């Protein structure tokens, strides 16, 4: 069973437009720019939308309603009635964005907060407070605190209702005489019966038809056979009725994905300093650690929510390479994230609440730690901690790893990929006395494209190099290892004769494969100790009659 709070904000588009005007006026004054003509809240004011036959009223304030205007009325007729009428174009996108921000602020009461959809009026939001109302002393105190904060922080008068279903709560918040209205559990039918038929969130044409047939209240539909209504009306009529009564589930779409684990702390005094935020977030993580350990899981994704006094919400997402329950590690990442995002620089009058949620959890079974100190698992965790720090400081896309590809051509053998904890593998240290000579050495730096080496001197055409010139510098070779022969990938399409004759594997026509000839790689060291990775392209006498050399990488 759920307990749903419906928060209806009467005249929401009008109040949002006035609030946006106040904010814009303050910004223009700070910038010393001329301000446009302001809206007088005590005079008739409407928001208009384009429609067939001319603009029509989409929302209006109390003064306009007192002047006899109504929603849906042509704007031309409204001007004739009201005389002096203030008109602004309705901005549905801005109103929806503002409602989502307000709904996000309401997650301070419960992680499951969902804004109204278009069918519900797009002028309020739902809260699923089952399991969280006791933190505020019960449903009565929760809705009282919510109503007071909406009025004091945002200047938004609200009508609130609590019921077992979203449909019943929506109906009670709009049509019930009490405000707030808290319906007893399993009493939806009794409370909905005397309410107007519009309380079922029906389309206007359906409500009009039902009234013409004599059905003016919800109770008039409860005991009637369902078949005639199913034949006469669309399925939305019976669906809305069943949703309000709890016969059919009505899933709510949260404004943010619900967390796996969540901890929230309300503060007696607002805080601003970054150190205070990190300290409090560490306590929240310590609280979550016990629950994570109980379930044998660790946090792979965290979200830190900072609730400002003025109602704004700052959220910071923290991704981890491996699941963790380390409070110290998470605290360091939070400090780096706050420093990079400068979230506390825009704290306003301070943060009055802080929430920490585990948005992604993965299995983290218990293991021996005392005897495994310094083992392979510890090295993997230390590597993951380093990756986490680099990602928080440099950005999530700035840290990559190399992923092997099924190709023996050096430039194709690896590709860059995002760091993933499932594939983060730190090789164990080699055992003493075991040589690594079974695999050829690869350079620390592989050039993006092999660069031609000039004036290469070799004792015989197919022999190792003795001297070469690269980037304008001549190098005398003292030591040489090789060759390591890498054959062409014969299953790939060969390049054209023009590309082959150019003598440069990087000069190939569009759509052609770069590798076509066999390569002989050499690890060479010059007199100064610099080590290079060179290769000769083509087998002398079989694939080419002229040796072409290239520098492909550097060892040191």
Tokens representing residue 270 in the block: 């607002």
Higher pLDDT, 198 or 439: 198
- Give the DSSP letter string of 172-187: HHHH-SSSSEEPPTT-
Question: Which is nearest to 125 in space by CA: 151, 153, 105, 152?
Answer: 105
pLDDT reading at 495 higher than 60: no
Q: Stretch 189-207: mean pLDDT, rounded?
A: 93
Q: How many helices (H) and strands (E) does the chain have?
A: 15, 20
Q: Which residues contact 202 (CB under 8 A, 6 or more apart)?
A: 210, 236, 237, 240
- As a whole number of angstroms, the distance between CA 218 and CA 191 comes to 10
Whether 214 contacts 220, CB under 8 Å: yes
Q: Tell which residue, 380, 439, 452, has the closest CA to residue 413.
A: 439
d(CA 259, CA 132): 14
Percent of the chain with pLDDT over 70: 87
- List residues bridging with 417 in a β-sheet: 401
**Model confidence at 434: pLDDT above 50:** no
Q: Give residue 430's pLDDT band: very low, low, confident or very high (50, 70, 90).
A: low
Confidence of residue 498 (pLDDT cuts 50, 70, 90): very low
Q: What was the pLDDT predicted at 201?
A: 93
Percent of the chain with pLDDT over 90: 51
Cross-strand partners of 302 = 318, 358
Cα–Cα distances (Å) from 545 to 469, 503, 540, in that order, read: 21, 11, 6
- With b meaning 16 or more CB within 10 Å and e meaning fewer, what string describes 361-370? bbebeeeeee
Q: What's the pLDDT at 513?
A: 43
Least confident residue range of 199-208, 238-247, 433-442: 433-442
pLDDT digits (tens, 9 = 90+) for 348-404: 788 999 999 999 999 987 766 555 555 555 677 788 888 888 888 787 777 888 888
236: Cα within 13 Å, side-chain hemisphere: 12
Q: How far is CA 195 from CA 5, 35, 214, in A?
A: 18, 46, 14
Give the tokens for residue 540.
Answer: 């002398």
Structure tokens at 231: 């034949």
Given a cut of 60, is residue 97 above it in pLDDT? Answer: yes
pTM for this prediction: 0.70
pLDDT tens per residue, range 12-45: 999 998 888 887 777 666 666 655 678 888 899 9
CA 474/CA 457 separation, integer angstroms: 11
pLDDT at 343: 53
The verdict on whether omega for the bond into residue 201 sits within 30 degrees of 0, i.e. cis, is no
pLDDT value at 426 more than 80: no
Tokens coding 247: 């016969």
pLDDT digits (tens, 9 = 90+) for 108-162: 999 899 999 988 888 999 999 998 899 899 999 999 999 999 999 888 999 999 9
Helix ranges (DSSP H) in 256-375: 274-294, 327-341
Residue 275 CB-half CA count within 13 A: 0
Report the mean per-residue pLDDT for the chain: 85
Residue-level pLDDT at 374: 52
Closest to 162 measured CA to CA, from 135, 133, 119: 133
Which one is predicted more confidently, 505 or 62? 62
Contacts of residue 218, Cβ cutoff 8 Å, sequence gap at least 6? 171, 192, 193, 194, 195, 196, 197, 199, 200, 241, 244
Domains and CATH numbers, the chain: 4-10+94-245 (3.30.70.270), 261-366 (3.30.1490.100), 445-554 (no CATH)
Torsion of CA 429, 431, 432, 433, to 10 degrees: -130
The C-alpha angle with vertex 553 and arms to 548 and 556, in degrees rounded to 5, equals: 130
To 10 degrees, the CA torsion angle through 464, 522, 445, 443?
-150
Token reading at 67: 């002047």
Q: What is the pLDDT of residue 515?
A: 46
Question: If you search the block for the tokens 């004599």, which residue do you land on?
Answer: 214
pLDDT at 33: 63
What is d(CA 386, CA 380) in angstroms, rounded to the nearest whole number?
Answer: 10
User: Closest Cα to residue 271, out of 327, 305, 309?
Assistant: 309
Mean pLDDT for the stretch of residues 197-209: 93
User: In the sheet where 351-363 sits, what is the strand order?
Assistant: 261-271, 351-363, 297-308, 313-324
Cis peptide before 483 (omega within 30 of 0): yes
């Amino acid at each position: 069973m759920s307990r749903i709070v419906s928060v209806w904000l009467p005249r929401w588009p009008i109040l949002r437009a006035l609030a946006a005007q106040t904010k814009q006026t303050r910004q223009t004054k700070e910038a010393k720019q001329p301000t446009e003509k302001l809206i007088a809240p005590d005079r008739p004011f409407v928001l208009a939308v384009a429609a067939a036959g001319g603009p029509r009223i989409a929302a209006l304030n109390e003064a306009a309603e007192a002047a006899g205007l109504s929603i849906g009325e042509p704007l031309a007729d409204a001007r004739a009635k009201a005389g002096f009428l203030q008109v602004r174009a309705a901005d549905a996108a801005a109103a929806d964005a503002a409602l989502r921000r307000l709904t996000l602020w309401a997650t301070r009461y419960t992680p499951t907060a969902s804004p109204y959809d278009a069918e519900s009026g797009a002028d309020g939001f739902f809260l699923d407070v089952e399991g969280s109302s006791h933190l505020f002393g019960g449903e009565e105190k929760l809705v009282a605190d919510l109503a007071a904060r909406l009025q004091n922080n945002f200047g938004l008068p609200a009508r609130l209702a609590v019921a077992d279903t979203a449909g019943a709560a929506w109906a009670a918040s709009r049509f019930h005489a009490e405000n707030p209205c808290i319906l007893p559990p399993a009493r939806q039918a009794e409370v909905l019966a005397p309410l107007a038929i519009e309380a079922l969130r029906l389309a206007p044409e359906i409500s009009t038809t039902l009234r013409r047939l004599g059905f003016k209240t919800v109770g008039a539909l409860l005991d009637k056979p369902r078949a005639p209504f199913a034949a006469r009306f669309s399925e939305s009529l019976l669906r809305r009725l069943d949703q309000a009564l709890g016969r059919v589930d009505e899933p709510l779409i949260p404004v943010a994905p619900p967390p796996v684990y969540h901890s929230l702390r309300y503060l007696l005094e607002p805080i601003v300093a970054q150190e205070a935020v990190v300290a409090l977030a560490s306590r929240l993580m310590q609280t979550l650690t016990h629950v994570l350990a109980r379930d044998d899981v660790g946090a792979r994704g965290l979200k830190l929510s900072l609730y400002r006094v003025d109602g704004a919400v700052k959220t910071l997402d923290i991704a981890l390479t491996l699941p963790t329950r380390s409070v110290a590690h998470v605290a360091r990442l939070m400090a780096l994230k706050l420093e990079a995002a400068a979230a506390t620089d825009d704290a306003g009058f301070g943060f009055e609440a802080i929430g920490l949620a585990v948005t992604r959890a993965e299995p983290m079974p218990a293991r021996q730690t005392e005897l495994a100190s310094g083992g392979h698992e510890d090295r993997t965790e230390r590597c993951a901690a380093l990756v986490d720090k680099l990602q928080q400081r440099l950005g999530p896309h700035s840290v990559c790893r190399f992923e092997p590809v099924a190709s023996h051509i050096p430039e194709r053998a690896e590709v860059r990929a995002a760091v993933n904890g499932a594939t983060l593998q730190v090789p164990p240290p080699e055992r003493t006395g075991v040589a690594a000579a079974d695999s050829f050495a690869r350079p620390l730096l592989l050039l993006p494209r092999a660069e031609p080496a000039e004036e290469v001197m070799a004792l015989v055409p197919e022999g190792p190099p003795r001297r070469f010139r690269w980037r304008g510098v001549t190098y005398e070779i003292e030591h040489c290892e090789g060759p390591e022969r890498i054959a062409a990938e014969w299953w790939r399409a060969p390049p054209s004769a023009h590309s082959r004759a150019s003598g440069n594997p990087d000069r190939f026509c569009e759509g052609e494969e770069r590798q076509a000839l066999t390569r002989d790689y050499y690890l060479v060291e010059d007199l100064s100790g610099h080590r290079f990775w060179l290769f000769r392209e083509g087998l002398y006498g079989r694939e080419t009659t002229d040796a072409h050399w290239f520098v492909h990488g550097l060892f040191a």
